[in-house]
Amino acid sequence: MRTLSAIALSLLLGSCSSPPSLLERIIQQGELRVVTQNSPTTFYYGVDEARGVEFELARRYAKRLGVSLRIYPADQFWQLFSDVSRGRAEIGAAGLTVTKPRRSLVTFGPSYQSVESQVIYRMGTKKPRSLAELFGGKLEVLSGSSHVSLLEHARGSIPYLSWDEKRDLNTEALVRRVASGESDYAIVKSNEFSLLQHYYPETRVAFGLGNVDEVAWALPKGAEDLRESVAAYFAEIEASGELQEILDRYYYASSNFDYVGSRAFLRHLDSRFPQLQNVFLEAQIETGVDWKLLAAIAYQESHWNPGAVSPTGVRGVMMLTERTAQMMDVDDRNDARESILGGARYFQRVLKKLPERIPAQDRLWLAVAAYNIGFGHVEDARIITQIKGGNPDRWEDVRANLPLLGDEKWYKRVRRGYARGDVPVIYVDNVRRYLAMLEWMGGIETLSEQLRLSVNKQPAPG
């Protein structure tokens, strides 16, 4: 599969009598052009690099072809299909649903996700239960989206149904307008709203429209070699588990929505985080541990409260035990700077204990679990995982077996005995959620610039 570039080039050189195919031209030019949209589920610039499901998928596909990736957001949603059909981009990747009208413009690759269209409203207002009950309210949808076709079809039985098509907005803007009261309702895709709801907790799902749509990449019509190559790529990453890994990483924040918790996080991000952000950046410079991860751990530990104290005696922003504080040269656990730097050093120490053969993401979550429950108990869970035929180097396998540390049948078989193994499972889940939210929150670019300036002022570590 990875010799695709060489094969395509040889075909190109040996087929002088016919023009090169689109796939051959991509390889010959050394660049894959992908048009997308800015959203937390597709493509955005995080603190230090580009992120998003579609960005990850496109980057891996470009690497598979042996070419560079040029990905750019369309100014307006409807331009995605225009750019692909007119040859400005070879692939449209923006969580696009497959519809009959769109098939007249482009060809679609294989489906890699299923989504539902949902009507959302603002908490505190009357919850509608059908399209007919939207009468009198302001309903907004993206211009050129599949939701327009759904509404046009529904108008056959609801003649008074009306809506406003927004050409210059994206999904996040629609959700934000409902949250602020600028509009009453919007129709959005379930996957996008499940993530955005954490940032706009006043919004709610009123009802689903009952349709389940398949999501796929848009490709130029007639580009059969590119379509076959894309199909082979998705088959490969689905079989290897890479596709599910990418989806899990970005949609983890969408699981178990908690209105009170999300409101508290946003409130603390505004009131407490600004006083601590420079220390998190300093901790990254010293230890190399991502400041966003440290901030997510700190929020799970103390809600960024330097004066936090638990019934067991751990205290401070990073909730250090007295023993850990001494080990990390922390004199005052309630001093925010000392606590964060000490917690970062301790996390770095735990991370280094884990074998380097473990994939980076799995190693990260195992270390987060160890920060909570202790390295020894995580090692015991890995041993149990191996006994049961699982992969001790894979976080999801270990996650499934951590609760067995509370089962006498199992904890008697390992070195460190009983532990509440369900606690680190919840702990890691929450940290992953806070980390995802920190990645997308507005104003994050300011922190990125601060980090760059801070790094430039500091000598190289070590």
Dump pLDDT digits (tens) for 247-287: 877 776 556 666 677 788 888 988 999 999 999 999 999 99
The pTM (predicted TM-score) of the whole model is 0.63
**Residue range 309-362, pLDDT digits in tens:** 886 688 999 999 999 999 999 999 999 999 999 999 999 999 999 999 999 999
- 222: CB partners within 8 A, 6+ apart: 107
Q: What is the pLDDT of residue 210?
A: 83
Identify the bridge partners of residue 294 per DSSP, sorted by sequence position: none
CA quadruple 166, 168, 40, 451: dihedral, nearest 10: -150
- By CB atoms closer than 10 A (0-12, 13-18, 19+), residue 454 is middle
**pLDDT on residue 393:** 96
Residues annotated as catalytic (active site), given as ranges: 301
pLDDT, position 455:
38
pLDDT value of residue 452: 41
Sign of the CA dihedral with 199 first, then 200, 206, and 210 last: negative
Q: Report the C-alpha gap between 333 and 308 in whole angstroms.
A: 10
Residue-level pLDDT at 456: 41
Q: Is the dihedral of CA 326, 327, 332, 334 positive or negative?
A: negative
- Strands 44-45 and 50-51, by their bridges, are antiparallel
Q: What one-letter code names the amino acid at 411? A: Y
Spatial contact of 287 and 345, defined as CB atoms under 8 Å apart:
yes
pLDDT below 50 — which residues of the chain?
Answer: 1-3, 6-7, 11-13, 15, 47, 442-462
User: Which domains are present in the chain?
Assistant: 4-109+216-252 (3.40.190.10), 114-215 (3.40.190.10), 259-457 (1.10.530.10)
